[in-house]
Structure 1
């Protein structure tokens, strides 16, 4: 909005009224001119959200304005529960880090009022030891980390996140679906111990 007298874009809203359209009383910060202007208010869009809570997920929606900008790791209020954005798919089917609401097809998110639950798979030459652990959502796993889990000590070889399989780098727990490791008899020292974080024990092959 530009001042009707000097054309400056620096204006302060003194009063605002209306719902479908806003009648604004503005004052120019440059020349002090006070003027009125009416603007149309954009209607919110209903955006699809797939929200996960551990192994289960469900579809919901959230009302957002078209010119809002969402980004990876941003926060949403879903029915009174805080959720963190883990992935954004635009209208062209691509995964992006940031997008205007008007360009978004689907948002993936996970609730932040619970710890992150991650699958751990340790490969013993074809026999897979599988565990589930719960850690702080901001905890970082790095390819090459040496981890203790119960009586096992293994090195992380790969990770599967919401979007891809990783063989180098690191990721925060809230975007990781599964961590893959292999034991090494020569390993004695480890970066961290997940023993107390184990919440589910199962043996067998892993299909993720």
Structure 2
């Protein structure tokens, strides 16, 4: 929208009315000119969302405007529940950090009204100790961290997120599916203790397959 007097695109909306088309009363921030302009409003479209809650996931649709932009870690309202975007796939099959809705094929998200659950596998040379911990969604795991888990102290060697396998760097708990580690006799000091975070169901520790 350009000012009808000076052509500036810096304008303030004073009033707006209408549904399928909006009649706007605008004020130019540069010269102060007040003018009217009518714009057509695009209808919202259905976008596919795969939303996860712990081990289960389901597909749903969310109505969004084509010119709206979504980004990684943004929040959507899905059937009255807040869900954080964990991945965006565009119509060319690529995973992107930000995209206009018109170019999105699928959104992956996870509900954020519950803590994150992260699987942990500690490799004892072929014998795997498998546990699941429940932590704050923003908790960060970093490759190389030394962690205490019950009687075990291990170093994180890799992580699997919803998009990829990581062997360096860090990631937040809400995008991590599994953390892989190895114990060591030389590991005495650790960055954090997750013993109290081991997820229990009916008083029994939950194991899971590799």
Structure 1 position 105, deviation (Å): 0.5
Residue 199 (structure 1) aligned with residue 207 (structure 2): no
Task: Tell me, in whole angstroms, the C-alpha distance in 2 between the residues paired with 1:204 and 1:114.
Answer: 20
4+ runs of 1 displaced by more than 4 Å? Answer: 202-205
Please list every run of 5 or more consecutive structure 2 residues that lacks an aligned counterpart in the other structure: none
Give the TM-score taking structure 2 as reference length: 0.93
SS in 1 for 2:199: strand
Structure 1 position 205, deviation (Å): 4.7
Contact in 1 for aligned 2:131/2:208 (Cα 8 Å): no
Q: Which residue of 1 aligns with 2:176?
A: 176
Q: Which residue of 2 aligns with 1:114?
A: 114
Please list every run of 5 or more consecutive structure 1 residues that lacks an aligned counterpart in the other structure: none
Please provide the CA RMSD for this pair. Answer: 1.4
CA 1:14 to 1:186, structure 2 compared with 1: closer, same or farther past 3 Å? closer
Task: Tell me, in whole angstroms, the C-alpha distance in 1 between the residues paired with 2:75 and 2:26.
Answer: 32
Structure 1 position 202, deviation (Å): 5.1
Task: Tell me, in whole angstroms, the C-alpha distance in 2 between the residues paired with 1:54 and 1:3.
Answer: 51
Structure 1 position 2, deviation (Å): 1.5
Contact in 1 for aligned 2:118/2:179 (Cα 8 Å): yes
SS in 2 for 1:19: coil
Structure 1 position 203, deviation (Å): 5.5
Q: Which residue of 2 aligns with 1:92?
A: 92
Cα deviations by residue, 1:23-44 (Å, 9 ceiling, x for unpaired): 1222333333332221100111
Structure 1 position 83, deviation (Å): 1.0
Task: Tell me, in whole angstroms, the C-alpha distance in 2 between the residues paired with 1:50 and 1:73.
Answer: 15
Q: Bigger CA drift: 45-54 or 27-36?
A: 27-36
Q: Which residue of 1 aligns with 2:6?
A: 6
Contact in 2 for aligned 1:8/1:28 (Cα 8 Å): yes
Task: Tell me, in whole angstroms, the C-alpha distance in 2 between the residues paired with 1:27 and 1:204.
Answer: 61
Report how many aligned residue pairs link the two structures: 206
Q: Which residue of 2 aligns with 1:70?
A: 70
Alignment of 1:136-175 (within 5 A): 136-175=136-175
Q: Which residue of 2 aligns with 1:18?
A: 18
Q: Which residue of 2 aligns with 1:61?
A: 61
SS in 2 for 1:196: helix
CA 1:205 to 1:111, structure 2 compared with 1: closer, same or farther past 3 Å? closer
